Structure 1
Amino acid sequence: MVSGSIGERIAAYRRRRGLSQTTLAGLIGRSESWLSQVERGVRSVDRMSILLDMAKVLHVDVESLTGRPWQYAPNGGTTPADLDEVRRYFARYDHLLGEDAVPILNSASLRSLAANAHQRYQSAEYDGVVTDLPEILLAADSLHRVSGTEDRREMLLSYVSTYVVAAKLLTKMGAADLAQLAADRCANAALEADSLEAQGMAAYQVVCALLRADRPEDAESLALKMASRLATQARSDAPSLVSVAGSLWLISAVIAGRRTDRVEAYGRLDQAERLAAMLGHDANFAWTAFGPTNVAIHRVSVAAELGDAREALEVATAVDPDALPAGLNSRRAQVYLDLAWAQAQRKRDSEAILHLLEAERVAPNAIRYNVVVREMVREMLARSKRTKFTALHNLAVRAGVLD
């Protein structure tokens, strides 16, 4: 493996492939001056997808460019040790052995249990949800396998809600295989329930799982098709349907941003904004956190995905995180994470650290389970005076970057 900084590695592998800066920059959709600055260490690579594109063009893996293990992810990375219990649960097939557990909950109780898990997830209390998840899934599966249930549709909707929060959490934790399995169980139950809203919720989780598995093309196709399908049925007296449709437009905008398609990204944000206007206020229907403020937060995120630090800082001035409903800590933290990224790209590390500290104050786990944050902290550490017990050093320890 070539040694040196990321910029030096990129330059070495580029020369090994016999490519000029102009050619490589064109192949990854960036300017020659941008690539020159990266190779000279003047600026950092501003998006994960750019590293992936470079690796493909240069015929190397991403680790060869970064010099350390790398996991592509939409958001997340560090896996808690007790996820092992969740993995063991998914490996159980008691029903094939005739060992089904007797249901201990009815549909209403299961939905209440799932709602509590959703609330804790949205408050970024990930560790607690991980601990409780096997028990919650067991309750859902045992009820699901009871034939002839009188309220079967209600049970199916409760089951979907349960596996939606499971898929969210597993995607956040980086367990792509389990996230896809959970999302698939959502989809099957949503189809049986004949609920368009539930199908949209399941589709969103499949999209997130596909992104985690590094399949952005498949994720984008599903997001767009389902968003378009739901949008035809969206109306002001169906707020959950509006919210799910809007969320699918938002994630499709982020995907477009990752492949540097500015027109598509902002066009999809506009579609989401129209649905937010139909909804009329910030809300959390179907556990989407969808509304005008979340659209505004995504405008910052899309600017960050496009690598436009100046735009991210500008559009952030229109965001009021306190306008979100209570409990949506992870959404509140996101705008501070994007602002930290923008300031770090401009090498204003003091401002970046302040934004990261604010994000940590709002949702501590939003720092530890975010791969972008850890890469940002590593870059700032490389630029800093290696003094222990500074704010950056202490943040790096809490984020899992340093021991």
Structure 2
Amino acid sequence: MTDATPDPYATPLVFGQRMQILRQRRGMARVVLAGLVGKSPSWLKRVENGQLQNPGLEMILRIAEALRVSDLAELTGRSSMQVDFFTGPGHPRLAAVRDAVNRFPISSDQPAPSAGHIRARLGHAWSDRHSAPNHREVVGALHPGIIGDAQLAVWQAESGAERRATQAALSEVYSLSQFFLAYQPEPALLWRVAERGIVAAQESEDPHTIGVAAWLTAQAHRDSGPSHFDAADAVTVSPLRHLEPLLPDADDDVRAITGALQFEAGYTAARRGDAGAAWRYWDQAEKTAKAPPADYFHPVTSFSHAVMGAHAVTVAVELRSGTESVRQAARAEATAIPSRPRRARHRIEQARGYQLDGQPEAALATLDQAYEAAPETIRYNGYARRIVLEETEAALPDRRRRASELAAKIGLLTA
């Protein structure tokens, strides 16, 4: 006799039982999941109890998205449906990045570069990432060398001021690492990097560095599911309390990371279904975005006046409002976003809005635009993969063909 939650994969459980176990493991109430997939709680209960037949592929995909199920086989129990949504394929440079993170130099015959030198290299790395369609390839090629140098610089720092400066640079290197590791099949490595980034940021005592590390860690918590939303809020609200009093005399970078954190709080609220809090935080972030010059663009978070339209689309999509998503998508000008990967991410959010609004043709066309902006963004994005797979089963032959062509381009059929 045990009180442990049963393993949904140890015995051949039916779909409804698997869905119930996965929902409970996520800490998600039945009424919440029902709302996310557009069904009533009573319908969901009957599916879980086996009183209704398994839903069709479209609904299975929506349930998988809502539960953040990475592999469809976990939900269906069918190995023939092994499709990873929220974990993309391992990048060819993943092993080298992993080795660089795991290696921790504490001595060297060579003097370490200065914090200023590392920051200059980081500036080039962020610029290259934003301008490249294959941004993971770019970051993966640069990362091993820069992380080793940053770790060594911290070790060789001789004064308190030098140590704080090198810790700030190292924390930003870990931030760059997280952009490479996101949605790859190395969750433990991603968390290790996030935690190291937080520790280095705290050691730096730099408000901007602390904000950046918190911004990325909040995303990691939120993407872990509803049971981690409180942790996401905690890691967002605490640095906001530290940063907001500094705003009257702050530089543009501190204002930007404050605005980025304000939006992250709204993003988590939208995931919860709290529309009032989500839009309230978005309003705060928009006001913060107006303080820097019109052409300002934060290199890590992409926070800017231009990106607020994209953020509005995300809030509407997470609140499952198709009509509002499309309205916000029409207002947001994607071409104003200078970053190719961020522009592609915005296109994916627009596609989610079109899908919610019952416009699958527009969704596929927008995903094509995302692919043109940055193929490596759509290739690793679970929402895009779900929409494409769903449309390969469309009733209309032309739509099936278009979705199948896109599935082949992003590597979904061979992942």
TM band (smaller chain): 0.7 to 0.9
What letter corresponds to residue 358 of structure 1 in structure 2?
Answer: Q
Local SS of the residue matching 2:413:
coil
Q: CA–CA distance in 2 between the matches of 1:343 and 1:330?
A: 20
Match of 2:140 among 115, 130, 153: 130
Displacement of 1:265 in angstroms is 1.3
Q: 1:113 to 1:169 in 2, by over 3 A?
A: same
Q: CA–CA distance in 2 between the matches of 1:349 and 1:213?
A: 28
1:337 aligned to 2:374?
no
Tell me if structure 2 keeps the 8 A contact 1:343–1:351. Answer: yes
Displacement of 1:30 in angstroms is 1.9
Q: 1:168 to 1:13 in 2, by over 3 A?
A: closer
* 1:225 corresponding residue in structure 2: 238
What letter corresponds to residue 245 of structure 1 in structure 2?
Answer: T
Q: CA–CA distance in 1 between the matches of 2:400 and 2:76?
A: 29
What letter corresponds to residue 370 of structure 1 in structure 2?
Answer: N
Tell me if structure 2 keeps the 8 A contact 1:46–1:345. Answer: no
Map 1:80-91 → 2, pairs under 5 A:
80-91=91-102
Local SS of the residue matching 2:393:
helix
* 2:387 corresponding residue in structure 1: 376
TM-score, with length taken from structure 1: 0.81
Q: CA RMSD in A?
A: 3.4
Q: 1:89 to 1:46 in 2, by over 3 A?
A: same
Match of 1:210 among 197, 209, 221: 221
Q: CA–CA distance in 2 between the matches of 1:47 and 1:116?
A: 41
Match of 1:241 among 243, 251, 254: 254
Q: 1:350 to 1:176 in 2, by over 3 A?
A: same
Match of 1:148 among 154, 158, 164: 158
* 2:331 corresponding residue in structure 1: 318
Local SS of the residue matching 1:233:
helix
1:26 aligned to 2:31?
yes
Q: Deviations over 1:258-313 (max 9, x none)?
A: 22221221121112112112335252235322122212211101111122121110
Local SS of the residue matching 1:292:
coil
* 1:19 corresponding residue in structure 2: none
* 2:408 corresponding residue in structure 1: 397
Q: CA–CA distance in 1 between the matches of 2:303 and 2:38?
A: 38
* 1:165 corresponding residue in structure 2: 176
Displacement of 1:167 in angstroms is 2.2
Match of 1:50 among 46, 58, 66: 66
How many residue pairs align between the two structures? Answer: 376
- For structure 1, the 5+ residue unaligned runs are 3-7, 17-23, 56-60
Local SS of the residue matching 2:246:
coil
Q: 1:65 to 1:302 in 2, by over 3 A?
A: farther
Q: CA–CA distance in 1 between the matches of 2:152 and 2:187?
A: 24
Q: 1:241 to 1:42 in 2, by over 3 A?
A: same
* 1:197 corresponding residue in structure 2: 208
* 2:50 corresponding residue in structure 1: none
Q: CA–CA distance in 2 between the matches of 1:393 and 1:351?
A: 16
Q: CA–CA distance in 1 between the matches of 2:36 and 2:223?
A: 28
1:182 aligned to 2:193?
yes
1:263 aligned to 2:279?
no
TM-score, with length taken from structure 2: 0.79
Local SS of the residue matching 2:306:
helix
Displacement of 1:137 in angstroms is 0.7
